[in-house]
Amino acid sequence: MTRSITILGATGSVGTSTLDLLRREPGEWRVEALTANCSAKELAALAREFDARLAVVGDEECLSELRAALEGSGIEAAGGQRALCEAAARPVDITMAAIVGCAGLAPVMAAIEQGGTIALANKEALVSAGEVMTTAVEKHGATLLPVDSEHNAIFQCLHGNDVAEVRWITLTASGGPLRTCSAEELARVTPEQAVAHPNWSMGAKISVDSATMMNKGLELIEAHHLFPVGLDRIRIVIHPQSVIHSMVEYRDGSTLAQLGPPDMRVPIASCLAWPRRMETPCAPLDLPAIGELSFFAPDEVRFPATRLAREAAEAGGAAPAVLNAANEIAVAAFLKGHLPFTRIALVVETVLNESNLPPAPENLEDVLALDAATRRRAAALLETT
């Protein structure tokens, strides 16, 4: 039976990995809509290849180029934030939500309000709008499937079990490319060094987050919303090989772990086929070749981001959204060469601590306003440092 899908963020790493899996099951999928920020020619080529009904660019200035590239295809073209939300609201069997940053918040909410199944690859949705989003999921009867390899691993390890039986959820982290650097070396890190992840192929922003360990801090906040076991039962462990993607320990002493290659097609396939399984082209694990699996405690002196994220999660309310927005501004400044690597976390901490936080956001508009205000404050802070 053919299933329908919309892919929000089709030209990014998660989007292209999703499309790669669809190619391997011809006739099994009908593509309703594909979106991108711009990348009009690439988006048009994908829309033609998969015979999508709709292609949308978030940047409305790219719409004319998209229309030209789709001329004669019969594929509808649209542009702008409203068009993204309208695409997300179309009823489909599954929506892959892979728009990076807070630009993905409104489309994710539009998909949730349809009461469908959303494969969530947008970290910012649950970090910045966790309470708002989980309330909407419950209200509209939607289903969230986690795409992040760590949360997907936890989801698989919890299958068929009661969260009340959980003793620990353990998020594993590779430690990134700078795990063994001294404090002095970290102060001299370049953007090129920070994005050179040893295991995963990712975009620049998420690669820097992996290097600072903020990525794992954001994942801790996500896990808190996805798996309600309590913050005191979620921990982080450094696992450089990136073979075990996360673990769940139960109160009887049993620990279930999900293992797999460091390839996003594995968790994506888990979501696409849920509650079944599907073939992927990923090479099987060769454990003798891997040789050993090692684990270390996080160093929150050299990498304070996980501490900041946990403190923000404990504070709740507006704090996680402020953490996320300040981090995005600081990472962007680092990638442009305007901020040293070790000051990324310092900027985040300063923005979190410098004033009283506003009330907890009650709806998406509150979240977006808080995000915008925090970005302005972080940008102003950078101008004085």
- Percentage of the chain with pLDDT > 90? 90
CA-based torsion, 159, 27, 8, 243: positive or negative = positive
Calculate helix-pair angle for 105-112, 81-88, nearest 10 degrees: 30
Report pLDDT digits (tens) over 333-348: 999 999 999 999 999 9
Supply the CATH number for residue 348's domain.
Answer: 1.10.1740.10
| pLDDT for 357 | 84
Question: Do 233 and 261 belong together in one domain?
Answer: yes
| pLDDT for 264 | 94
Q: Which residues contact 281 (CB under 8 A, 6 or more apart)?
A: 20, 24, 265
Report pLDDT digits (tens) over 68-88: 999 999 999 999 999 999 999
Question: Do 246 and 375 belong together in one domain?
Answer: no
pLDDT exceeds 80 at position 179: yes
pTM above 0.75, yes or no: yes
Tokens found for residue 10: 């089709």
Question: Do 254 and 183 belong together in one domain?
Answer: yes
Q: How many structural domains comprise the chain?
A: 3
Which structural domain range is residue 371 located in? 316-385
Task: Specify if 310 maps to a domain.
Answer: no
> Residue 247: which of 171, 313, 302, 308 has the closest Cα?
171
Q: What is the DSSP string of 197-244?
A: -SS----HHHHHHHHHTHHHHHHHHHHHHHS-S-GGGEEEEE-TT--E
What residue type is 154 in one-letter code?
I
pLDDT confidence tier of residue 227, bands split at 50, 70 and 90: very high
